[in-house]
Each structure stands twice: as structure tokens, then as C-alpha cells.
Structure 1
Amino acid sequence: MIYALRRIWLEAPEPRDDCDRCLEIAEQRVECRRQGNRSGESDCNVLLRRHFSEAHT
């Protein structure tokens, strides 16, 4: 049996300029990317999306 994996590439969320928490997570994401820590970068994207849904909706 052959299974095909379907990859969905999500756009990286953009922080809001007027939110300190958004900017904090975005800075952490940049640092992870600079260090080559793709897992950490992905974690920051998840945190930013979660923050958006909790604080900006």
C-alpha cells in the first residue's frame, strides 16, 4: 500500500506592530532562523498564530 503525504506550506504569520507580545515572538523567530533552528522557528509561528487567535480576534 502506498501512502502519499500532502504537504501544506503555511505562510509565516506577520506580527502586529502595535503589540509587544507579537513583536517579542517575532524577534525570537528571527533569532531561531539565524541560528538555523527550524524547529524553533516553526514553534514561534505556532505561538504567534495562537496569540493572534487569543488576543486579536
Structure 2
Amino acid sequence: MRGSHELLIDPEQKLAFIACEGNDRLLVLDMHTIQVTSSAKAGRYILLTAVPMQFS
């Protein structure tokens, strides 16, 4: 991981989504194991936004 730029945490799933500067990657970190479970090329500008969802 190079230059962590943004972080979004999903507390229910225990996942962290990390946007990286320098290599333009989006990482998914399993907070149970502290291991990166996925990595994808995401482009130069990554913006992580949390949108609250409600289900009835």
C-alpha cells in the first residue's frame, strides 16, 4: 500500500476500503485477519463515500 488517501470502514462486515495514492489502487482489508483480500486498479482519483442505507 502506497500513500493511503481515503478510508471507509464497514463495521458490520469488518472490512476497510482503502484508496491509495501513487499507485491508484483500491484495497479491501479484512479487519478480522488484517489481510488485504482484494486489490483493484481504480484510476487516478478515488473518492470513497459512505451512503447510509435503511431497510424496512
| Larger Rg belongs to | 1
- For this structure pair, what is the TM-score category when the shorter chain's length is used for normalisation? under 0.3
More helix by share: 1
The structure in which a higher percent of residues are strand is: 2
TM-score by length of 1: 0.26
